[in-house]
Amino acid sequence: MAFKVAIVGATGAVGVEFMQVLERRNFPVSELRLLASKRSAGTTLKYKGKDVTVTELNEGSFAGCDLALFSAGSSVSKQYRDACTKAGCLMVDNSSAFRMEDGVPLVVPEVNPQEAAKALQKNGGKGVIANPNCVTIIALVVLAPLHREAGIKRLVAATYQASSGAGHAAMVELQEGTRAFLDNKPFTPKVIPVPYAFNLFPHNSPWLDDKGYCEEELKLLKEGHKILGDTSPRITATCVRVPILRAHSEALNVEFVKPMSVARAYEILRAAPGVRVVEDRAKNRWPMPLDVAGKDDVQVGRIRVDQSNPNTLDLWVVGDQLLKGAALNAVQCAELALLGKVAPNQS
């Protein structure tokens, strides 16, 4: 069994990762269509050692396709949803367009794999799977097995988010801005609205309410509840953009309903799929963005008792935003829906 696969937004940071993940995981691809804007049409990208030409995305791009992996922004996803699904093509969308839509499964394969198959029951046998926000994915891979054991009562999250979350152009801008800073040259940012090199700032996603939360911070709350299938955990987050290229870090303070010891948390996480415990207490060594760049697993360490609140643990979690936070999770969703399984992680 092999599938005709389309990648929408193929020249972007996540689009390139889609190709690499498909190849690395030996996803059965019989034909690969690389789709992007008119500006990028004609570009060639490598897949399995061969050049594949990028073509302009249009309403007819999905004819005969079995799977479309989207990472071109919410507006593009909304515009081409009907063209994709009416062509009988499964749409796995990396944008926020459909995540909270009733009936659209929002899937982290290690957490709620049973939801992926629901997309195949929509629109004449094919539908949409929404890929969650990167911060939500990275957090829930670690938190879900702990929640199943003891129940999360309250989560306080502080995130340290890489430039990759804002796309390839932001990654380039961080590199160029850093070089200019070191050379004592003027630099005007165009992607990120404030100086980025040697700086950090609260996440610049839109402010959605009068309570002072930005869109990124509310995603963890809303998406977390939907994925867990449980609205009882109280969740608050502070999201910060930091000058890192491609991995998000999260400091998670977790209050549990039932007792959860540090030893038991480590035991659960060492057995959890998609999770790797990394630490060397004697050397004060814990997961870092450089450790997870290019790696599939989410890393966790520095689990300790919160001395200020009963039955609460602190965890330090780091994951590659472009992989588990985006492209890898999407391909895993496709594996579940089309193959009925998820291939083992490669890291």
Percent helix, strand and coil across the chain, each to the nearest 5: 35, 25, 40
- The closest of 267, 266, 301 to 281, measured between CA atoms, is 301
The C-alpha atoms of residue 218 and residue 202 are separated, in whole angstroms, by: 14
Residues 245 and 188 in one domain: yes
Q: Give the pLDDT confidence score for residue 176 in this predicted structure.
A: 97
Residues 219 and 314 in one domain: yes
Q: How many helices (H) and strands (E) does the chain have?
A: 8, 14
In degrees rounded to 5, what are phi and psi of residue 237? Answer: -140, 150
Residues 188 and 39 in one domain: no
- Residues tagged active-site: 134, 248
CATH classification of the domain holding 53: 3.40.50.720
Residues 196 and 212 in one domain: yes
Say if 345 falls within a structural domain: no
Residues 187 and 64 in one domain: no
Residues 51 and 199 in one domain: no
Q: Give the pLDDT confidence score for residue 291 in this predicted structure.
A: 95
Q: Give the pLDDT confidence score for residue 242 in this predicted structure.
A: 96
Residue ranges with strand state E in 121-183: 128-130, 152-161
Parts of the chain with a pLDDT under 50? 125
Q: Which amino acid is at 3?
A: F
Residues 167 and 26 in one domain: no
**Domain total in the chain:** 2
Say if 66 falls within a structural domain: yes
Residues 241 and 202 in one domain: yes
- Written as one string, the DSSP assignment of 295-318 is -SSEEEEEEEE-TTSTTEEEEEEE
Burial degree of 229 (CB within 10 A; 0-12, 13-18, 19+): exposed
Residues 274 and 194 in one domain: yes
The C-alpha atoms of residue 228 and residue 221 are separated, in whole angstroms, by: 11
Residues 257 and 234 in one domain: yes
Which residue range is the domain that position 164 belongs to?
135-321
Q: Give the pLDDT confidence score for residue 208 in this predicted structure.
A: 67
Residues 194 and 274 in one domain: yes
Residues 314 and 331 in one domain: no
Residue ranges with strand state E in the chain: 3-8, 29-36, 44-47, 50-56, 67-70, 90-93, 128-130, 152-161, 201-202, 234-241, 247-256, 275-277, 298-305, 312-320
